[in-house]
Each structure stands twice: as structure tokens, then as C-alpha cells.
Amino acid sequence: MDQVGAKLLEEIAGLHEIPEGAYNIRENGKSVGRSSTEEIEIIPKDNGKGIDIHIKPGTKNKSVHIPVIISQSGLKEVVYNDFYIGEDCDVTIVAGCGIHNGGKDSSQHDGIHSFFVGKNAHIKYVEKHYGSGDGNGERIMNPETIINLGEGSFMEMDTVQIKGVDSTIRKTSAVLEKDAKLVVMERLMTHGKQKAESYFHVELNGDGSGANVVSRSVAKESSYQKFVSDLEGNAACSGHTECDAIIMDEAKISAVPQLEANHPDAALIHEAAIGKIAGEQIIKLMTLGLTEEEAEAKIVDGFLQ
Amino acid sequence: MLELKNISFSVSEKKEEIGILKNVNLTIEDGKFIVITGPNGGGKSTLAKVIAGIEKPTEGQILWNGEDITQWSVTDRAKAGISYAFQQPVRFKGITVFDLIQLATGNRITVEEACRYLAEVGLCAKDYVRREVNASLSGGELKRIEIATVMARATKLTVFDEPEAGIDLWSFQKLIGVFEKLHEVNNGSILIISHQERILNIADEIVMIADGQITARGRKEDILPDILEKTASCSCQYYKEPAGLE
Ligand SMILES: Nc1ncnc2c1ncn2[C@@H]1O[C@H](COP(=O)(O)OP(=O)(O)OP(=O)(O)O)[C@@H](O)[C@H]1O
Ligand SMILES: [Mg+2]
């Protein structure tokens, strides 16, 4: 792997070297490193368009890394990764995609991730998107996450896209059975002419299920963001979704809440707030000696922490 | 030394000029401990904001160690050694107490150092240092964090806007210690806006501001009787003296 690849890998997965445990590293459309363990088996799909990841029931405190990097301008791919997570597992899955585009053609990665989470399993899913390169070619990522949460299971999903992705359409859908819980934290920053759209659809089908979908975003310059969150309560469940956005310059943001309660004991809440950085926050930091620009940068950084 | 010369501040509302500060003259010498008091709406916070550069006076001049800083930005004044603790501290999503204290010091600091400032304002540091300065903090906690940040700056002049507001009795005693310490260390001047007699007690000088003007100044013994008289009366036709005072 060259320096560009190594840099991308570090940005999206915090990896400096070959990760511990199970991993699959995909570079420019091909797997360049793969390792299974006793408990976590990674099997490539026959058509070469993705992998199946099987995690044995009861696997605890283990991690799987499946980063994707693209440095070849003009490469477009659709990849299917399916996760089968056994009962009672407690695992961390780190995915993510970095595109370096130094050329004039657009590069695109559409990762479709399906999760089948067994009873009482706990998973943390971390996904980071990053783009770099000074070519005119666009960097496009359209991730799709399909989540099936079995009884009593818990999934925490953390997605970050802070820099360099020109266009994103993210779709996340989840179905929750009895007592399953889903917590999603999406962090997003767009600038220049970037566009990012994020759609959530969560079906709370089991009694005692709960979902919390939170998006924090900053839209700068003439970028555009759209956040659509749709919670469907089909049982005695609780759902909360929140979109909190800072708008700057000439950016545009649209937040579309949707709640559907199909059961009398479904409790659903939606909160959405879009606004500029509060003037008093900037002033407070200026009284500590920061310039206006430094104050703004600090506030944005903190907000997206 | 800070000198305010003929400071006026007015705002226009519905084509009408409203004078909020009127021809205020005040000098704060190095190492002095001055308390400003006076009725609500008298213009105290506005004066503090004029000093910090948050509001620009419509008329008059501000000198800092002899240099005219009237047109200086908030940042430049902060860098020149002026600190201001807000009456209503600002909340931030995602910025931690540690971040704020670190920014205030202008250096990289350790968690232990940050904790020391928090301990001085009576906050059990370990519980707070990693918390976000967001809506989850209580009013009194936020106020103390605000005080800790200006302490961390340790500048030549610190303006506190009603630091005692919302602070419990036990912490209040600590607070007095904080002022005394700031005062001793680097011979800093302190300007406190306060309604608390215990703070008035330790001032070198008390300045009374009412209706945008300095109406009295001097030592506590001379000023206090005057203050009680002024704040007890009101010319508003709907105002009724509390029963028992008539
Ligand atoms: N930007 C503004 N526009 C209009 N009125 C203002 C503005 N700023 C301050 N005022 C008014 O000026 C007066 C003085 O306000 P200021 O906050 O300085 O009072 P204060 O003495 O600090 O009062 P308190 O003891 O209640 O804190 C008030 O009547 C306030 O409503
Ligand atoms: Mg005030």
C-alpha cells in the first residue's frame, strides 16, 4: 500500500498498521488483506462484490475492521457486506471509506451493509467517510445500512463524515424486535458545493423496543444537506429523533421529521433545530482571546465532537 | 489602569434614542477592588460590556494603561489583559469544561491544572472537568465554571457581573477568597457588579449606577445609606410600596 492509501486508512479507521483480530481491507476494488479468527469468519462473496461476516454466538470484546479505500480516479463500485452476529455477542465493527481522487473522473463507493443481530447481542458500529485529493473528479459515497435487531439486542451506530466527500446519499433502515435498542449518532459537515442527504427509517415492531436517532451537522459555504427521519412505532415502544444543525454562509439545510404511531403505547418524539452559531458563543470565546474565526472553528469542532 | 471618559451608550428604538449610559467617568487604578451596585436596569452590565468591547460606546473614550482602546475588538482587549465573567454565562454543545479552561489559559494544560481552578470555585473537579458546558449544567454550576475560566486567565483587570447570583452560601465564602486571591496575585484590579452586602464590604470603593449614571461613589459607610434610600423609591405610577414600609 502506498502513502495515499496509508493516509486514507488512518483517517477512516485510525489504523497505522494491520489491525488486530478479523479484518478485510479493500483497496481499489480488490481485497488486499483479509484475516479471519476463531470466532469471526470473513468469507468473500462469489461474485467478488463484497463479504459475509459471521460472528459466533457469545463472542465478546472483539473487533472487526473492514475499511475501503479508493485512490484510483474514476473507479465506481457497489459492495455488499452482510454481517451475521450471533446471540450474546459483544463486538465492535469498524467500517469506513476513504476516497482520494486526484483525477478528473468521479470515484464512487456504494457500500450496502446488512446486519442480522442475534438475541441479546451488543454491537457498536463505527463508520467514517473521508475524501481527499485535488482533482476535479467528484468523490461520491452512498452508504446503505440495513439493520435487523433481534430480541433484546443493542446496536450503537456512529457515523462521521467531516471532510472531502462531494456527494452522499445515506440510507439507513432498521427493524427492531422486542426489547431491542438502537442508538444512532450521525455527524456531518459539508462545505463548498457538497451535497449530503440522509434518510432514516426505523420500525419499532417489538414491545419495549427503543430508538434514538441523532444527527449533528454543520453546513458551510454553498453546501446542501437534507435529513429525513421516519420513526414508525408499531408496539409499546419509544422513539426519539433529533436533528441539530448549524448553518453558515449560503448553505441550505432541510430537516424532515416523520413520526408514525400505529400503537397506542408508542411514544415518539422528534426535535429539529437549525440555526446560526449563537453570537454570544462567539463573543464569549473572543473574551478569552480567540479571534472571531478561531472562535467559530472551535464551536464547530466542539459541536461535531 | 482603566479610564472611562465621558462614556455614553444609546440605542435607537422606533426612531427614539434611548440613553442607557450617560456620560460615565470612572478610573480603575491598578490593584484596586471596585464594586458597582445599583438598581436593576441601571446600566451596570452594559458598562461591563463596554469595557470588554462587546458594546461600543456611542460617545466617549476608553483608555487602558494610557492607550486609547475605544475601537479595539473584544479579542484585542482580551489579549491586552481584560477579562469579563458574564452575568449569564454562555452554554456550548460539545465544548467541555476542560476545553474552556484550557482556552482561557491560552496554553496547553493538564487535567490536574484545570481541576485546580475548579476546586477553587468549590466544584468537585473530577466530576466536572470532562462535562460539556451545555444545558445539563445547573445555573450555579455554570456560574462557577464561568468564574473559574476568568480566574484561569489571571489578567490585569477582571470584571465580574453578579458572580454571587445562584451561588450557595458555602461556595460564597470561597468566592470571596477567589477575589482576594486574584487581587493579590499579579496585583490585578477587580471590578465586581454586585448586590451583595458581603461583597460591598470588601471593596476599596463602591460605585453606584442608576439610570445610566454614576450617582454616588465612595467607601461603604458613606454610600450604603444612600443606596437604601434610592432603591426604595420608584416613580412608576403602578408601583406600590411593600406593605409595612409605608
Ligand atoms: N441592546 C439594547 N437594546 C435596548 N435596551 C437595552 C439594550 N441593552 C440594554 N438595554 C436596557 O438598558 C438598561 C440597562 O441594562 P443593563 O443590563 O445594563 O442593566 P443592569 O444594571 O445590569 O441590570 P441588572 O441589575 O438587572 O443586571 C435596561 O433597561 C435594558 O433593558
Ligand atoms: Mg446586569
For A28-68, what is each residue's pLDDT tens digit?
999 999 999 999 999 999 888 999 999 999 999 999 999 99
Q: Which of B14, B18, B37, B45 to mutate to test the pocket of ligand 1 (most atoms within 8 A of CB)?
A: B45
Is the Cβ pair A287, B83 closer than 8 Å?
yes
Do B25 and B16 contact (CB within 8 A), yes or no? no
Instruction: With CB atoms and an 8 Å threshold, state whether B149 touches A299.
Output: no
CA distance, residue A244 to nearest chain B CA (Å): 10
Residue B121 pLDDT exceeds 90: no
Q: Which atom of ligand 1 is nearest to the CA of B49?
A: 18
Q: How many angstroms does the Cα of residue B141 sit away from the middle of ligand 1?
A: 24
Q: Scanning the structure block, which residue is given the C-alpha cell 468521479?
A: A106
Report how far residue B114's alpha carbon sits from residue B125's, in angstroms, rounded to the nearest whole number: 8
pLDDT at position B229 is 66
Choose the residue to mutate in B16, B17, B20, B56 for probing ligand 1, maximizing ligand atoms within 8 Å of C-beta.
B20
The Cα–Cα gap between B17 and B58 comes to 11
pLDDT of B163 > 60? The answer is: yes
Average pLDDT for residues A161-165, to the nearest whole number?
A: 89
Residue ID of nearest Cα to ligand 1 atom 2: B11
Helices B169-184 and B111-120 pack at an angle, to 10 degrees, of 110
Q: For chain B, which residues make up each domain, given as ranges?
A: 2-233
Contact B74 A286 (CB under 8 A): yes
Query: Which residue out of A215, A216, A281, A284 would a mutagenesis test of the B interface target, given it has the greatest number of B Cβ atoms within 10 Å?
Result: A284
| Cβ within 8 Å, pair A287-B73 | no
Strand ranges (E), B174-230: 189-193, 205-210, 213-218
CATH class of B2-233: alpha beta
How far apart are alpha carbons B113 and B136 in whole angstroms? 24
What does chain A come to in residues?
305
Largest CA distance in chain A: 61
CB pairs under 8 A between A and B: 57
Task: List the single residue in A with minimal CA-CA distance to B95.
Answer: A302
Q: CB-based contact (8 Å) between B75 and chain A?
A: yes
Domain boundaries, chain A: 3-278
Record: contact A289-B94, CB cut-off 8 A: no
**Which residues of chain A are at the B interface, by a Cβ-Cβ cutoff of 8 Å?**
216, 244, 278, 280-281, 283-292, 298-299, 301-305
Mutation to test the A interface, candidates B50, B82, B93, most A Cβ within 10 Å: B93
pTM for this structure?
0.86
Residue B124 confidence class, pLDDT cut points 50, 70, 90: confident
Q: Pick B178 or A59 by higher pLDDT.
A: A59
Interface touch B54/A284, C-beta < 8 Å: no
Q: Which of A179-183, A280-284, B193-197 has the lowest mean pLDDT?
A: B193-197
Tens digit of each residue's pLDDT (9 = 90 or more) over B85-105: 999 999 999 999 999 999 999
Strand, helix or coil for residue A13? helix
Closest C-alpha among A293, A291, A284 to residue B49: A284
8 Å CB contact between A21 and A55: no
